[in-house]
C-alpha cells in the first residue's frame, strides 16, 4: 500500500525515498511544519487519495505558484545556472508563492549552507510564516569524489500563527504539484530544517549528519586536503598541515576547480617549498607551483561585485535591503539602494544580513542609459525606456551604461563641432560676399 499524507486539508501521495538519508518524506516534513489536519494513510482509500490529488490540480488556480517549477529545474542544471539554493515564499500580498531568494554555488560549502539557513530564517517583521527551500547539497563520497543531492527543505520559525500555518498548508499541495508536473521531484529528497539543541539552525556538518543521516566521513571529509599533490609522509607535508584543511587542488582550467586557503598558499610557497629538501620535488616543481599559485589567486568573490555596476554608480546599501529584492515596490530601487550591499548572505559583524544585493534574485541589472537627461529621468522600466527612442535612450546593463553615454556624448560633441564649423564657414562666406559689393 502506498503511503499517503495530506497538505492542509487535501491529501496527496508522498514520493518514496531514494536514499537512506531521504527517510524524511514529505509527510514528515509537513508534520515538522505543524500543518493541521494531516490524515494517516489508513484513513484514506485509494479512491479518496486519487480524488485528493485531483483536488490539488484544481487548487492550482486558487493557490498559484509563480516561477516555482522553472527554479526547481534550474537548480538541477548546475552546469548552466550554478545555483546552490532557491527560497520559495509568499509574495507580499500572500496571494501566491514564488521564488524570492537564491544563492550561487561556491566551493565553500559551509558558507553556502549558512547563507541558505539565513535566507530560510528571514522574517519581514510581520507574522512569521513557513517556507520551502530547494537546495543542492554537496558531500564527499571519497577523498577525490563528491556528489550533490537535491533537497526540498521545509522550515517553520517559532510561534507561527494558526492562520499562517493553515494558509501554508493550503498552498503546499500546489507547490509540490508545480514541481512534479514533469517528474522533477523524482530527483529530490524531502527533509525538514529544525533548530539544534542550542536553539540555533544547524551548520553544514550538523545538517549532513543529523538530518540527512550521511555517514560521518562524508560530512567530515571537507576537513581534509583533497587531491593533495605532495607526499603525505614528508616532514611538514601540506597534506596534513592545519592551514590546508578543506583545500582542494584541481587544475584551474576545469569548470569546477578547487580553491586554496590563503594561509595554505603562504605556507606552501613561502615556507615548505623553500626548504632545501623540498626544492625540485614534485609538489614544489615550478610548473606545479604556477598552477598552485593560480588557485591561490582565486579568493572568495568580492563582497561587492563591482563588475555588475558601472563606475559612475554610487554604491549604497540602504536599511531596507534586508528584504528580498522581489519585495521592493519598484525594480529600479533594487540597484539604486542595494548595489553596494554584501552578496554572500551572511552576517558581517553587527551589520544585518542583506538579502537584496547585486547577485540576488530580481536585482535589476539594467537601467535606461543615454546622454540625454530624459533617459536618466525615466522610471527605469524597459518599456518606457524603449519608448524614448527620440532621445536615443538604451535599455542596457549597468556595466555598459558609461560607454553608451560616453559614445553618445562624443557623437553629440562632434555634431556640435561640425555645426559650429559650418556656421563659421557660412559667416566667413557672408562676410566675404559683403566685401565684394
Contact 14, 26 (CB under 8 A): yes
Taking the C-alpha atoms of residue 285 and residue 282, their distance in angstroms, rounded to an integer, is 5
Q: What are the tens digits of pLDDT across the range 280-301?
A: 777 787 777 777 777 775 544 4
The reported pLDDT for the residue numbered 59 is 58
Q: Is the pLDDT of residue 385 over 80?
A: yes
| Top-ranked range on mean pLDDT: pick from 248-252, 253-257, 409-413 | 409-413
Burial class for 139, CB neighbours closer than 10 Å (0-12, 13-18, 19+): buried
Q: Is 62 exposed, middle or buried (0-12, 13-18, 19+ CB in 10 A)?
A: exposed
Q: d(Cα 96, Cα 170) in Å, to the nearest integer? A: 11
Under 8 Å CB-to-CB from 62, ≥6 apart: which residues?
none
Model pLDDT, residue 432: 75
C-beta atoms surrounding 96 within 10 Å: 15
Measure Cα distances from 384 to 178, 205, 379, 390, 393 in Å: 33, 49, 7, 12, 10
* 53 pLDDT tier (thresholds 50, 70, 90): very low
DSSP state of 126: S
pLDDT at 340: 87
Nearest Cα residue to 116 out of 125, 104, 124, 128: 104
pTM: 0.64
**212 vs 191: CA distance, rounded Å:** 8
Q: What is the pLDDT of residues 118-159, one digit of tens each?
A: 999 888 766 667 889 999 998 877 766 778 899 989 888 877
What SS3 state is found at 357? Answer: coil
Residue 277 in this model has a pLDDT that exceeds 90: no
Q: In whole angstroms, give the CA distance from residue 15 to residue 186.
A: 8
Strand ranges, E, within 26-104:
83-90, 97-104
| pLDDT, position 428 | 75
Question: Is the pLDDT at 95 greater than 60, yes or no?
Answer: yes
Give me the domains of the chain, ranges plus CATH numbers.
Answer: 4-218 (3.40.20.10), 224-297 (no CATH), 367-437 (no CATH)
Task: Report the mean per-residue pLDDT for the chain.
Answer: 75
Contact of 118 with 348, CB cutoff 8 Å: no
In terms of Cα–Cα distance, which of 146, 69, 77, 75 is closest to 116?
A: 75
Amino acid at each position: 500500500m502506498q503511503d499517503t499524507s495530506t497538505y492542509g486539508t487535501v491529501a496527496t501521495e508522498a514520493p518514496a525515498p531514494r536514499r537512506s538519508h531521504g527517510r524524511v518524506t514529505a509527510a514528515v516534513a509537513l508534520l515538522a511544519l505543524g500543518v493541521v489536519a494531516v490524515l494517516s494513510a489508513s484513513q484514506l482509500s485509494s479512491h479518496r487519495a486519487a480524488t485528493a490529488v485531483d483536488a490539488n490540480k484544481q487548487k492550482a488556480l486558487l493557490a498559484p505558484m509563480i516561477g516555482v517549477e522553472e527554479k526547481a529545474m534550474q537548480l538541477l542544471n548546475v552546469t548552466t545556472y550554478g545555483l546552490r539554493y532557491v527560497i520559495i515564499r509568499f509574495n507580499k500580498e500572500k496571494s501566491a508563492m514564488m521564488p524570492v531568494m537564491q544563492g550561487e554555488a561556491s566551493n565553500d560549502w559551509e558558507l553556502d549552507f549558512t547563507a541558505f539557513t539565513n535566507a530560510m530564517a528571514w522574517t519581514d517583521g510581520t507574522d512569521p510564516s513557513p517556507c520551502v527551500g530547494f537546495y543542492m547539497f554537496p558531500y564527499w563520497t571519497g577523498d577525490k569524489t563528491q556528489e550533490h543531492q537535491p533537497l526540498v527543505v521545509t522550515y517553520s520559525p517559532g510561534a507561527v500563527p494558526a492562520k499562517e500555518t493553515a494558509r501554508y498548508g493550503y498552498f503546499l499541495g500546489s507547490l509540490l504539484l508545480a514541481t512534479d508536473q514533469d517528474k522533477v521531484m523524482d530527483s529530490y529528497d524531502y527533509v525538514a530544517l529544525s533548530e539544534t539543541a542550542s536553539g540555533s539552525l544547524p551548520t553544514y556538518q550538523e545538517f549532513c549528519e543529523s538530518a540527512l543521516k550521511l555517514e560521518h566521513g562524508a560530512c567530515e571529509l571537507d576537513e581534509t586536503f583533497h587531491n593533495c599533490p605532495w607526499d603525505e609522509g614528508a616532514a611538514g607535508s601540506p597534506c596534513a598541515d592545519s592551514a590546508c584543511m578543506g583545500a582542494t587542488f584541481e587544475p584551474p582550467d576545469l569548470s569546477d576547480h578547487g580553491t586554496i586557503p590563503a594561509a595554505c598558499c603562504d605556507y606552501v610557497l613561502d615556507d615548505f617549498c623553500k626548504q632545501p629538501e623540498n626544492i625540485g620535488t614534485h609538489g614544489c616543481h615550478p610548473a606545479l607551483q604556477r598552477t598552485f599559485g593560480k588557485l591561490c589567486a582565486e579568493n572568495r568573490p568580492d563582497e561587492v561585485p563591482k563588475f555588475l555596476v558601472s563606475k559612475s554608480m554610487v554604491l549604497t546599501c540602504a536599511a531596507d535591503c534586508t528584504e528580498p529584492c522581489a519585495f521592493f515596490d519598484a525594480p529600479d530601487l533594487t540597484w539604486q539602494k542595494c548595489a553596494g550591499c554584501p552578496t554572500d548572505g551572511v552576517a558581517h559583524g553587527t551589520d544585518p544580513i542583506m538579502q537584496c544585493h547585486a547577485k540576488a534574485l530580481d536585482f535589476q541589472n539594467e537601467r535606461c542609459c543615454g546622454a540625454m537627461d530624459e533617459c536618466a529621468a525615466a522610471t527605469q522600466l524597459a518599456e518606457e525606456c524603449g519608448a524614448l527612442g527620440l532621445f536615443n535612450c538604451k535599455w542596457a546593463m549597468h556595466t555598459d551604461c558609461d560607454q553608451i553615454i560616453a559614445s553618445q556624448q562624443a557623437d553629440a560633441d562632434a555634431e556640435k563641432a561640425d555645426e559650429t564649423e559650418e556656421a563659421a564657414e557660412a559667416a566667413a562666406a557672408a562676410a566675404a560676399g559683403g566685401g565684394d559689393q
